[in-house]
Amino acid sequence: MAGVILAVSGKGGVGKTSISAAIVRLLVEHHPKARILAIDADPATGLATALGVDVVQTLDNIRVRIAESAEKGETREAVELLGEARFQILDALAEQGGGGSFAFLAIGRPETAGCYCAINSYLKEVLTLLAAEFDYVVIDGEAGVEQINRRVMERVTHLLLISDQSRKGIQVLQTILEVARRMVMYDRCGVVINRITSPNLEIRLDGIDLLACIPSDNIHAENDILGKSVFDLSPESPVLTGAETALRNFTLI
């Protein structure tokens, strides 16, 4: 299957980054020849640590550099600037080693105070630009509905919503889905319930596919405390087996 763009979304702290990292590891293992790109779209970062990669360049660094060169120089066409961005991004990607064979890009944190609109709209352009270069793009989204609402992820193939068992988590998930139905084009959408502590309590999801349930796992939490990556986890760890079930239900592995 070519041209998969999988976006992970949900409330803060429910396990988006953990599951995004697990998905990248599973895709690398199941599709060793595929071109895989992991994007940390959360300015608060975290995916790099979860994947055990060093952040050499962020999208914001590249954006600022190109904006500066445009200010200094002659008036260049937007399309030319975008072409340069593509070149610099692919260059930055090639430098990444990582725990497996995948490329990594972090959106970064704009140094100037204020809003994230510029970097978010840049991310949107870059996503369109890069989608053609990769077989699988996995996006670890910012918590909440903002990036969906701003259509940063306008065209994804798979929308993966994560929640814990809490009513709040499920409500956020339903809000994201309502907005996504209007603002995002996607082929498949599904839910993973993570960090389950009360397996006997039923969770009601109206009209969304439940792809997998993942129990709370202390070893996973300890791994995170120690700053270890997803590649240090045992293949039997619940986050990995849960992410695997979700990917199988999406028929991506």
Ligand X SMILES: Nc1ncnc2c1ncn2[C@@H]1O[C@H](COP(=O)(O)OP(=O)(O)OP(=O)(O)O)[C@@H](O)[C@H]1O
The residue written with tokens 């609109």 in the block is 117
Rule CB under 6 A: choose which of 37, 93, 143, 156 binds ligand X: 143
- Of 113-132, binders to Mg ion (CB under 5 A) are none
In the chain, the largest separation of any two C-alpha atoms, in whole Å, equals 65
Q: Does 194 bind Mg ion (CB under 5 A)?
A: no
- The site partner of 60 among ligand X, Mg ion, none (C-beta below 5 to 8 Å per kind) is none
Beta-carbon contacts of residue 105 (< 8 Å; ≥ 6 apart): 37, 38, 39, 40, 58, 59, 89, 92, 93, 126, 130
Q: How many whole angstroms separate alpha carbon 232 and alpha carbon 102?
A: 16
Rule CB under 6 A: choose which of 1, 3, 13, 232 binds ligand X: 13
- Of 223-252, binders to ligand X (CB under 6 A) are 224, 238-239
Residue range at the interface with Mg ion (CB under 5 A); choices 28-36, 42-50, 94-102, 121-129? 42-50
Token pair of 116 as six digits: 């994230």
Q: Does 88 bind ligand X (CB under 6 A)?
A: no
Count residues binding ligand X (CB under 6 A): 20
Nearest distance from residue 184's CB to ligand X, in Å?
19
Q: How many whole angstroms separate alpha carbon 210 and alpha carbon 204?
A: 10
Q: Does 43 bind Mg ion (CB under 5 A)?
A: no
- Hey, is 157 helix, strand or coil? coil
Q: Does 43 bind ligand X (CB under 6 A)?
A: no
Rule CB under 6 A: choose which of 43, 46, 100, 190 binds ligand X: 46
Q: How many whole angstroms separate alpha carbon 52 and alpha carbon 230?
A: 8
Which helix or strand (DSSP H or E) is residue 25 part of? helix 16-30
Give whichever of 24 and 143 is closer to ligand X, judged by the CB atom.
143
Nearest distance from residue 168's CB to ligand X, in Å?
13
Q: Does 164 bind ligand X (CB under 6 A)?
A: no
Q: How many whole angstroms separate alpha carbon 60 and alpha carbon 120?
A: 10
Using left for φ > 0, alpha for ψ between -120 and 50, and beta otherwise, residue 168 falls in: alpha
- The site partner of 141 among ligand X, Mg ion, none (C-beta below 5 to 8 Å per kind) is none
Positions that interact with ligand X (CB under 6 A): 12-18, 42, 46, 143, 194-195, 214, 216-217, 220-221, 224, 238-239
Q: What residues make contact with Mg ion under the rule CB under 5 A?
A: 16-17, 46
